[in-house]
Amino acid sequence: FVNGKFCKDPKLANADDFFFQGLGPGNTSNPLGSKVTPVAVNEILGLNTLGISLARIDFAPKGLNPPHTHPRGTEILVVLEGTLYVGFVSSNQDNNRLFTKVLNKGDVFVFPIGLIHFQLNVGYGEAVAIAGLSSQNPGV
């Protein structure tokens, strides 16, 4: 039992323990116009103790991934398609400054651990991003 998950006997492990199928487009037909598809330890058991995870984020035009935090992980975001306005709020010790940037295809932005952050599609078409996280279970 490690990090809140049971460890599987390594002799019983197989390729499916390290595999996730279905990181295709998410359904953005909802009030926010976005869909986050996480791939963390709950989706891939083999991530247990590895300290990493990821998520695919799909955006309809003007779609929003609303302000949120990851209390157990830093996030690095890469834009695969579209144009996103992203940002985070620094800590109280830094007077809660807002850091924002408009990202285009191929751009990368980092959200430090535990800070409130968001992504908004400001382009005219759909947008897609991949977020890497420094935790097997970063929380939301």
Torsion sign (Cα): 108, 139, 42, 23: negative
**What pLDDT is attached to residue 27?**
96
At residue 30, does pLDDT exceed 80? yes
pTM to 2 decimal places: 0.92
Residue 140 lies in a domain: no
Residue 32 lies in a domain: yes
The answer to whether 68 is annotated as binding is yes
The answer to whether 3 is annotated as binding is no
At residue 16, does pLDDT exceed 80? yes
Q: What percent of the chain has pLDDT over 70?
A: 97
Three-class DSSP labels, 54-88? EEEEEECCCCEEEEECCCCCCEEEEEEECCEEEEE
Residue 2 lies in a domain: no
Residue 138 lies in a domain: no
User: What contacts 79, CB < 8 A, 6 or more positions away?
Assistant: 103, 104, 105, 106, 107, 108, 127, 128, 129
Question: In the predicted model, what is the mean pLDDT of the chain?
Answer: 94
Q: How far apart are the C-alpha atoms of 6 and 129, rounded to whole Å?
A: 31
Number of domains in the chain: 1
Residue 75 lies in a domain: yes
Q: How far apart are the C-alpha atoms of 121 and 130, rounded to whole Å?
A: 14
The answer to whether 65 is annotated as binding is yes
At residue 32, does pLDDT exceed 80? yes
Residue 4 lies in a domain: no
- Residue written as tokens 């599609």? 121
Q: What is the pLDDT of residues 45-97, one digit of tens each?
A: 999 889 999 999 999 999 999 999 999 999 999 999 999 999 999 988 899 99
Q: How far apart are the C-alpha atoms of 104 and 81, rounded to whole Å?
A: 7
**What pLDDT is attached to residue 31?**
97
**What pLDDT is attached to residue 15?**
96
At residue 2, does pLDDT exceed 60? no
**What pLDDT is attached to residue 17?**
93
The answer to whether 75 is annotated as binding is yes
CATH number of the domain enclosing 37:
2.60.120.10
